[in-house]
Structure formats: C-alpha cells, structure tokens
Amino acid sequence: MRDGVGAGTSEAQFVRRVLIVIALVALALLAWMLRSILLMVFGAVVVATLFRAFAEAIGRWTRLPPNLSLLLSVLIVATVIGSAGALFGGQIIAQAEGLSEAIPKAWESLKQRLAGFGLGGQLDQLTGTASKGGGMASTLGSFAMSLGGGLTDALLIVVGGIFLAAQPAFYRTGLIKLVPDGKRDLFANALEESGQALKLWLKAQLLTMLIIGVLTGLGLWLIGVPSALALGLLAALLEFIPFVGPILAAVPAVLLALAIDPQLALWTVGLYVVIQQIEGYALSPLIQQWAVDLPGAILIFSLIAFGTLFGALGIVFAAPLTVVCYVLVKRLYVRETLHTETPIPGEEKV
C-alpha cells in the first residue's frame, strides 16, 4: 500500500516538473517572439525615467504635487520641441532635403574619383551597389521606409512612457508581485537601484549629446560644410548610440564635404576626430564622476549582442539596457548569490 502511494506521489511530482519545464520553455519562446515589443516596453521605461527625473526637479523647485509636476514636465518638453520646430524646423527640413539630394551626388563623385585610380569596381563590390540594381536610390528608399516605421515605434514608445511615468508605483507593484514572496524585497531594491543608475546615465548622456551637437554644428559651420545645423542635430541624436553613432554621424558630413573639395573632407574628418577626442578624454571622464561609468569592453560587446538579438532598435537601446543589466547582475548575482561585496553603479550618488 505504501509502495503504491509512494509510486503515485513520485509520478505526480515527475508530471509536475515536466509541466513546469514545458511552461518555462513556452514562456521563453513567447518572449523571443515578442522581443521587439518587449524592447519597446523598455524604451517606454527609458522615456518614463526621463519624464520622472524632470518632474522631480520641477517638484523641488515649485513644491507642486508629483502628478502636476509630471504634467508640467510633459508640457514643457512638448513646448520646447514645438518652439524649436517653429524656429528651426524650416531650416532643418531644408537642410535635410539638401542632404538627401547632395549625398547621392557626393557618393557618385566619390565613385568617379576612385574610378580614376582604378578602384570604382572594388567600391561597387564592397557596397553591393552593382548587384542590387538601383544603387544609392534603392538604399535611400529602403531607409525612408524603415524611418517611417521607426517614427511610428518612437511615437508609441513616447506615449507608453508618459503612461508609465504617470503611475510608476502601480506598474512597479505589479511587476514585484510576479516574484515569489520571499524575494520581493530584494527584487524591489534591485529595481530601485537599477532605476537610479539608469536615471544618472540618462542625465549624463543628454548633457553629452547637447555638447557634441553644439560642437559639431559650430565646427562644421566654421570650416564651411553645408547643412551644418542638420548635421549637428544628427551628431547629437546619434551620440546616444555608443561607438557606432559618432561614425554614422560623420559619414554624411564627410561625403558632403568630399563633393565640394577633398581638402574640406580632410578638415571634416579632423573635426570629428578632435570632437571625439574631447569627448573621450575630457568630457566623459568629467561627466562620469557623478554618473554611471560602464566598462568599455562590456559596452561594445553588449552593443553587438543586443543588435544581434533585437536589430536596429537593440543597437539604439543597447547602452541603457546594459546599465540596467549591469546593476541587476551585480545586485542579484554577485552580492546575493556569490556573497561578494561589489560597488553598484550610482549607489552612492542618490
């Protein structure tokens, strides 16, 4: 009798474990299928963190309640963007249109110059323009289509971020409830620390983007490169992407300068190199004193990993994702599992 009961219990435990494994595998597959949406949710968290940080600053200055401070922060951001669009929008659009017309011409000019040295065919093979048929025009068309989809995703991320910022405690509590009861306090602390580190990193990154954009736009204007305002704005936006962003920002400026004069192209390359040296050896060390200092090797490999997993959107959010993962690994694994003391980024900078 006991043997029968024991056998039944063992069989029930085995079935339960199999069902748990199947459920975990199904959950992992579902997460993989929805990875793009999950990344957009994280993007909304980043936007919400920005709005909450701005709202907290407004609350300290005005003594307004949190909800009114958040509403005021959203209105101020929308007003600043709208005012900037009204003041500089026409000029930026005109310069962007000029860029869209000038870059293909600059590309053809580069091909002709290289053809004079017998390198035109090698350039076509390198870029694939000879086999794709349509060359730069088809590339720009594909880029325009992806840009339209990216703008839609960006709008959804911003709207989602506003909703998250309006009720952060509600969503945070719901997330914590998914964790077993004995680990909820630990998970709540880890979320708090990762959120603080993310906020500090975003503040530092926005300041860096502003300085890089101003330096780039001003420098290009001084050396005589057209569309300096649009190129400076592009440099500021792409500065959000580590390592790859500055290179992508320099390409259209160098092509545009090359179409005018090879010597101007050299000056343009030198300008971007100097600005990146200023950022790497002066700007970043100063800012990272009160922000989050990520090891370069971790950042570059995470850029590759998240780009492989999530595509272009993964590259855009690779750095903030790395900040959050870096803090969670240190807090939940190194400290709690390995019982090894380690500094948490931003822990003493609250």
> pLDDT digit of tens for each residue in the chain (350 aa)?
455 555 556 777 877 888 888 988 998 898 888 888 889 999 999 999 999 988 988 888 888 888 888 889 888 888 877 766 665 556 656 666 666 666 666 666 666 666 655 555 555 555 554 444 444 444 444 444 454 456 778 888 989 999 999 888 899 998 898 888 888 898 899 899 899 889 988 988 889 999 999 999 999 999 998 888 888 988 998 898 888 889 888 988 888 887 788 889 899 999 999 999 988 887 877 776 667 777 778 888 998 999 888 888 888 899 999 999 999 998 888 888 888 888 877 665 44
pTM for the model stands at 0.76
* Residue whose token pair is 């990216």: 150
- Distance between CA atoms of residues 78 and 126, nearest Å: 43
DSSP state of 329: I
Q: Which of 34, 44, 78, 49 is nearest to 160 (CA)?
A: 44
- Distance between CA atoms of residues 298 and 272, nearest Å: 24
